[in-house]
Structure 1
Amino acid sequence: MGSTSTSNTHGEGLSRRNLIKRSAALGLIAVPTMSFLSACASSGGGNDQEKQKGEVTKDNPFGVTKGGTLDVVIFKGGFGDQYAIEWEKLYKAKYGPEISHLGTQEITGKLQPRFNAGNPPDVVDNSGAQQIKLDVLHKNGQLADLTELLEAPAPDDPSKKVKDILVPGTADKGFIGGKMHSLNYVYTVWGVWYSGKMFKDNGWEVPKTWDAFLQIMQDAKKKGIGGLAHQGKHPYYINVMIMDLIAKTGGLEAMKAIDNLEKNAFVGSEAAKQSIEAIYEIVDKGLLMPGTNSLDHIESQTAWNEGKAVFIPSGSWLENEQLKQTPEDFDMKFLPMPLLPGSKLPFEAIRAGAGEPFIVPEKAKNKAGGLEFLRLMCSKEWSTSFAQQANSLTIVQDGVDKSVQLRSGTKSAVEAVDACPVDQRFDYFYINWYSEMDESIRTASAELMAKRITPAEWLKRAQAAVDKAAKDPASANNKRQ
């Protein structure tokens, strides 16, 4: 399905090759956090929104008033927040508001009290380990419907709508319950990463099969190098490997079975069984980097940069996040998930799609300003500014100036996307749709990597999480074809 759709059925078409050839593909996916309180006071929004509502024109489709205020909160993670500061300068030059900016990793801690009091910010980059769960915000009616953003005039060409200038399929990631509630702005690639220098020094070839992948880790172990590092405190990352392996082994139908909460999504799925047993083989053969289960993402990634492990799973924000820790000659490279025997998708198949969800709270004081901020994010000027600050590709078609230079890891990810046919790119939606299910699976994965449960028990726990999510009446509104 293309980005022009506003239905709740989602497809796999995601990008254009000419866009990919021009720039980078990085992003960030949320990892689990504490539950979000559902309480919400009646104060805020309403009259405050009316006070900051001006004349509607084609260049100002939401009626942003001149002056006033704009409250922006940005997850300060792999991309930092300098890109948003640059955006705010451009926004201030156009509308002249007093802008409040907060860059933080404590999204829930900082914003939960504000949402509960009915006094949320106007724009939120709702990402990171403490992301406020989107499905909870949606159930509490705290997210603005972004349908009007999709239908608004494109900032660079008012003859087009915003939905017409986005990479096809990327808007779909922001749909919950049949409506768009978040703008996932960054075009992301997920997979495994390695050092080109380490491979060259050891004479290793790029592993395309699981056996070749394991052989490199076994060779590394003999040399005192860990085979795989993972971000143990944040099991989202090892789930990148697990879920990618399931999709590539069982094909797109295996992926959709999980998103669609089918009764055999895990238990009864041969692809899931083979995949989780393959991941456990890494643990059982002692191929994990020592201590990785107890490390957070920066600690594990830094150890990997120091040559203490061969591989690490992550999204394509990794290079930007590790700029200060990566040696100059490291030569960061992206690796699509190697194949188990009989895999339905080829080695070139990758998980790629939209990440880094931006939201406008329903009770924002300057809701019009928040919507306009998101619209201007879809301009070439703002998209290029983001690429320059964050080494990333956005979901805006041809939205990055050709002059942007690519680092080695980014270039490698771009080449991987370019080598993968559109119909063989895949992406999971359950992470946004069913946060409790996602967290339960992550917990099971942490237990598996620590050898506290078996692959069979992991499958049972994952299926139990699916079955529980399926009982929620709201799940009927989420369906992939």
Structure 2
Amino acid sequence: MKKTLWSAVILVLFASMVLAACSKKANNTEPTPSASSSAPASSAPPSASASSDKPQFENTTLNVAAFDGGFGTVYWEEVVKKFETDYPGVKVNLETKKGDIFRDYVKTQFLSGNAPDFIATPFVETYAKDGQLLELNDVFDKEALGKTGPLKDLILDGFLDANMPLGDGKIYYAPTGFNVQGIWYNKTLFDGNGWTKPKTWDEFFAFAENAISANAALYTYQGAYPSYNEMVLWPMIASHAGPEALKKIFNYEEGAWSDPKVKEVLGIFYQIAQKGYLMKGTIALNHTQSQTEFLNGKALFIPNGTWFENEMKDVIPKEGFTFGFMAPPVFQGDQPYAVASNGYYLIPKNGKNPELAKEFLRYQFKDDNILLNVQKTGELAAVKGVVEMAKPYVSPAIYEALSVFDQGVKPVMTAWKATPPLSVNVSEAIFNPLNSVMNKKMTVDEWSASIEKSMATVRKEIAATESK
């Protein structure tokens, strides 16, 4: 999982972007085997079948590394075959791995000077700040494949700005799928009991009685990976403490976690723990285990993203369960928010075939490939009109989640200030103490102080690098 002063501006721009687009009607397990197409390689130039201005390439081998996460690998397996067909002579080598295994694999490839030509990942590390990525502005200035006008005009407003990690107007991350994150519940159970999803935290905690009647806990999360709770935490902070408070957090500012309203937000998790509302055993479970328990009715609410349904498709109960989505509840009178995010397409500077990688990036935004991804995984590209394009191919729950910004909910995006390599894992520093809170071994003040201490180290290391 998973930037400077401009992040606050992007938050506002992105909010208006999503509302406008929708109104138009729009980190972790074992590795998987490598997947690659078997199309023969040759020195023949690409045909003109995919684009009238298709370039020719001296090197026709493309090495692609793609993260195997909640959406799986089926899209990548299909799209590389299509690319080889549309560009005769091109051979694509596809490497996919899961979770931190993928993250470590990519890091190793960078360090060895053998980076893939093209990477699809949720992890961006410090690659841009370290000068290891190609600038991508030229790709988005170029005409979109199959359309007239530059590719940048197709992208949801604000997404390219949000992928300029150095704040210098240069795009180093291209946005992948647009997803929404929040809280999920069993719509069948709720409808059958006449329950209305809670909009405030008072209403949420009142659901404890409903949980008892359903022989379930009120809340669970992916215990081994407590950072899933960022899907609740960031919207709560934006809602209760305000976007400016969130900007201070993303810029590692001193005192950001001591803000009284931020501590009130942390107190929601403390209440869940102290009142016994967390599903027993949660902390010992990984993401699929806790999600399976939720699907089996052991808890009423769980945080996750719009990949949830696809990720768990093999264990969804055949009867009595339907996915329901809601934005995190708010304190009375506050504006609701939900996390909107994208993964990243990266092109390493020391890749062997950068021009072909750029063409492969442009290829991802063709209408037929956008639709292929929706059909195979339910993931939506960060392009205008994508929600309505996807409607016939996604479940009602996914459509409900993706349309949440039509319902008065505002989006929030993480926009961390770019840093040098740090001794502190920021996500772990924030969220790992949550398990101690849930075990009733840590108070809100202690949690806040722990984060402040870690962020002080971050600021010190940033200052040491900038002074050189």
Same-fold status (TM-score > 0.5): yes
In 2, the alpha carbon distance for the partners of 1:476 and 1:173 equals 24
Decide which of 376, 389, 401 is 1:389's aligned counterpart.
376
Query: Match of 1:378, SS?
Result: coil
Counterparts of 1:476 and 1:171 in 2: how far apart (Å)?
Answer: 27
Q: Does 1:409 align with 2:397?
A: yes
Aligned to 1:154: 144
**Unmatched segments (≥5 aa) in structure 1:** 1-6, 25-30, 34-50
Indicate how the Cα distance of structure 1 residues 208 and 155 shifts in structure 2: closer, same or farther if over 3 A, else same: same
Alignment partner, residue 96 of structure 2: 103
Change (3 A) 1:22 1:475: farther
**For each residue in 1:58-107, what CA deviation from the matched residue of structure 2 results, as whole angstroms up to 9, or x when unmatched?**
95879451772111111111111111122112211222311111221021
Structure 1 partner of 2:197: 206
Alignment of 1:161-200 (within 5 A): 161-178=150-167, 179-200=170-191
Determine the C-alpha separation between the residues in 2 that align with 1:321 and 1:382: 20
Q: Percent identity?
A: 26
Whole-Å Cα distance in 2 between the matches of residues 154 and 474 of structure 1?
41
Instruction: Write the distance in 1 (CA, Å) between the matches of 2:457 and 2:228.
Output: 23
- Identify the range of structure 1 (108-117 vs 236-245) with the bigger mean alpha-carbon deviation: 108-117
Alignment partner, residue 340 of structure 1 = 331
Q: Are the equivalent residues in 2 in contact too, given 1:23–1:406 (CA < 8 A)?
A: no
Distance 1:474 1:386, change over 3 A: farther
Secondary structure of 1:168's counterpart equals coil
- Give a deviation string over 1:308-353, Cα, whole Å, max 9, x none: 110001122112111122224412111111112353x2x4x3222x
AA partner of residue 110 (structure 1):
Y
Q: Which moved more, 1:377-386 or 1:432-441?
A: 432-441
Give yes or no for the alignment of 1:350 onto 2:335.
no
In 2, Cα distance between equivalents of 1:398 and 1:476: 43
CA 1:62 to 1:256, structure 2 compared with 1: closer, same or farther past 3 Å?
farther
More deviation, 257-266/73-82: 257-266
Alpha-carbon offset, residue 463 of structure 1: 2.3
Question: Does residue 425 of structure 1 match 2:420?
Answer: no
Task: Give distance in 2, aligned partners of 1:368 and 1:52.
Answer: 16
Q: Distance in 2 between matches of 1:440 and 1:17?
A: 33
Displacement of 1:238: 1.7
Q: Which amino acid counterpart does residue 125 of structure 1 have in structure 2?
A: A
Question: Do 1:62 and 1:369's aligned partners in 2 also have CA atoms closer than 8 Å?
Answer: no
Give the corresponding residue for 2:32. none
Aligned residue in 2 for 1:457? 446
The answer as to 2:430 corresponding to 1:437 is no
Corresponding residue SS for 1:341: coil
| 8 Å Cα contact 1:21-1:414 kept in structure 2 | no
CA distance in 1, matches of 2:417, 2:251: 12
Asked if 2 retains the 8 angstrom alpha-carbon contact of 1:218 and 1:287, the reply is: no
Go from structure 1 to structure 2 and tell me whether the alpha carbon gap of 1:54 and 1:370 turns closer, same or farther (over 3 Å shift).
same
8 Å CA contact 2:338–2:411 kept in 1: the answer is yes
Deviations 1:401-450 (A, max 9, x none): 467333132022033122136xx322221297688322311222233223
Residue 115 of structure 1 aligns with an amino acid whose one-letter code is F
Tell me the distance in 1 between the aligned counterparts of 2:219 and 2:87.
49
Q: Is the 8 A contact 2:66 2:120 kept in 1?
A: yes
Quote how far apart the aligned CAs of 1:119 are.
Answer: 1.0
Q: Which residue of 2 aligns with 1:138?
A: 128
Does the 8 Å CA contact 2:46/2:87 hold for their aligned counterparts? no
CA distance in 2, matches of 1:224, 1:289: 11
Cα contact 1:135–1:176 (8 A) shared by 2: no
Amino acid of the residue matched to residue 122 of structure 1? D
Residue of structure 2 equivalent to 1:379: 366
TM-fit CA distance, 1:473: 4.2
Give the AA of the match of 2:436: E
Moved more, 445-454 or 305-314: 445-454
- TM-score between both structures, scaled by the size of structure 2: 0.84
Q: CA deviation at 1:218?
A: 4.0
- Secondary structure of the residue aligned to 1:456 is helix
Q: Which residue of 2 aligns with 1:41?
A: none
Which sits farther off after the overlay, 312-321 or 219-228? Answer: 219-228
Give 1:398's aligned amino acid. Answer: G
On the 8 A contact 1:184/1:356 being kept in 2, the answer is yes
Query: Does the 8 A contact of 1:70 with 1:370 survive in 2?
Result: yes
The secondary structure found in structure 2 opposite 1:136 is: coil
User: Which residue in the other structure is 1:37 paired with?
Assistant: none
Q: Which runs of 5+ in 2 are unaligned?
A: 1-5, 30-42
Relative distance call for 1:52 and 1:10 in structure 2 (3 A) is: farther
Show the counterpart of 1:365. Answer: 352
Q: Which letter does structure 1 place at the counterpart of 2:109?
A: R
| AA at the equivalent of 1:290 | K
Compute the displacement of 1:111 (Å).
Answer: 2.9
Alpha carbons of 1:109 and 1:257: their partners in 2 closer, same or farther (altered >3 Å)? closer
Partner of residue 3, structure 1: none
1:230-286 per-position Cα deviation (integer Å, ceiling 9, x unaligned): 00111111232222211111222222221233323111x122111111111001111
Change (3 A) 1:475 1:258: farther
1:255 maps onto 2:250 in alignment: no
Q: Once the 2 structures are TM-superposed, how far is the Cα of residue 123 of structure 1 from its aligned partner?
A: 1.3
The one-letter code matched in structure 2 to 1:303 is E
- Mapped to 1, the partners of 2:155 and 2:66 lie a distance apart of 22
* Superposition TM-score, scaled by structure 1 size: 0.82
Report if aligned partners of 1:217, 1:310 keep a CA contact under 8 Å in 2: no
Partner of 2:300: 310
- Contact (CA 8 Å) 1:387, 1:404: kept in 2 or not? no
Partner in structure 1 of residue 85 of structure 2 = 93
**1:314 counterpart SS class:** strand
Distance apart, 1:156 and its partner CA: 2.8
Distance 1:61 1:472 in 2: 47
1:47 aligns to what? none
* Cα RMSD for the two superposed structures: 3.1
> Residue 101 of structure 1 aligns to a residue in which SS?
strand
